[in-house]
Amino acid sequence: TEAALIQAEKLAAVGRLASSIAHEINNPLEAVTNLVYLARQGQDAQDIHTFLDLAEQELKRVSVIVNQTLRFHKQSTRPTPCHAKDLFDSTLGLYEGRLRNCNIKVDLRSNAGTSIECFEGDIRQVLSNLVGNAIDAMPQGGRLILAAREATDILSGRRGIRFTIADTGVGISRATSARIFDAFFTTKGHSGTGLGLWISADIIQRHGGTLRLRSSQSPEHHGTVFTLFLPFGLGDGVIADTTLAQSER
Ligand code: ADP
């Protein structure tokens, strides 16, 4: 039956994911094993210190991967009403220092009344992933535009809130954009995990929402716009947590 097929596909996806998580965690753990060995053999106190520092960095990486995968922000059991402005404010609070250091101007457009029922911790996590990526894309400074307003989803005709997270950063090429929602896909080398957008897409799907992007890399007009649509009605039990609404990806 169709349901059995979907179930089999889901299991296969979980299997692939588990094996890539194991792989991602195994690399730094192997590095730690080697570094501890080197530290044991080391004669010079300075060298030993360096090996242990490196080992510590690798362990932090493991911890980031585990936390991201297990949903660092615990999920509340039921959706609660949230103000868009509060969601943005708390996200910006996380990045205050980096925004200042990178010389990024923030343009916040959200009227106080805009609110929606959602799993607050999860949506905070999505917004903080999107804002973190926008900041990463603007190392030389730029503009971060955050907007939220009531809107109708063009495809489904549902009412909800449309969040916009836009940056004037480096932009995303077409080839890259096809892969950014994949687990562990990153262009940031060792400093990225490639889990942010993958988790975000999953969270938005469970909210019955959509996450879309437009990006440009032309020299005169570069940057990326993520549009996040969350439908009203999650709190009415319209979407039970077992039935996933299809997001278009
Ligand atoms: P990570 O940030 O750890 O790399 P993500 O899943 O959050 O993982 O992002 C995957 C990739 O998508 C990034 O490495 C980057 O190449 C690209 N990306 C995401 N958002 C942006 C953005 N606003 N501007 C440019 N590139 C982006």
**Which of the 8 DSSP states describes residue 247?**
P
Beta bridge partners of 230: 161
Residue 21 has pLDDT above 70, yes or no: yes
Whether the per-residue pLDDT at 72 is higher than 50: the answer is no
Helix ranges, 70-119 (H): 84-101
> 245 to each of 2, 37, 123, 148, 181, how far by Cα in Å?
16, 50, 16, 22, 17
Which tokens sit at 130?
């999107």
Q: Which of 144, 197, 200, 211 to mutate to test the pocket of ligand 1 (most atoms within 8 A of CB)?
A: 197
What 3-state DSSP class applies to 206? helix
What was the pLDDT predicted at 105?
97
The stretch 79-99 carries a mean pLDDT of 90
What separation in Å is there between the alpha carbon of 211 and the centre of ligand 1? Answer: 14
In three-state secondary structure terms, 170 is coil
Neighbours of 123 (CB within 10 A): 25
The ligand 1 atom nearest the CA atom of 134: 23
Q: Ligand 1 pocket, 142 CB below 6 A? A: no
Report DSSP state, residue 77.
S
Q: Is the CB of 182 under 6 A from ligand 1?
A: no
Decide: 19 in ligand 1 pocket, CB within 6 A: no
Mutation test residue for ligand 1: of 72, 133, 136, the one with most atoms within 8 Å of CB: 133
Cβ–ligand 1 contact at 224 (below 6 Å)? yes
pTM (two decimals): 0.75
**Choice from 177, 180, 185 to test ligand 1 binding pocket (greatest atom count within 8 A of CB):** 180
Residues of the chain with pLDDT > 70, as a percent, come to 84
Is residue 134 a contact partner of residue 169, using CB atoms and an 8 Å limit? yes
pLDDT band for position 171 (50/70/90)? very high
Q: How far apart are CA 207 and CA 229, in angstroms?
A: 9
Q: CA 137 to CA 170: how far, in whole Å?
A: 5
Say yes or no: ipTM exceeds 0.95: yes
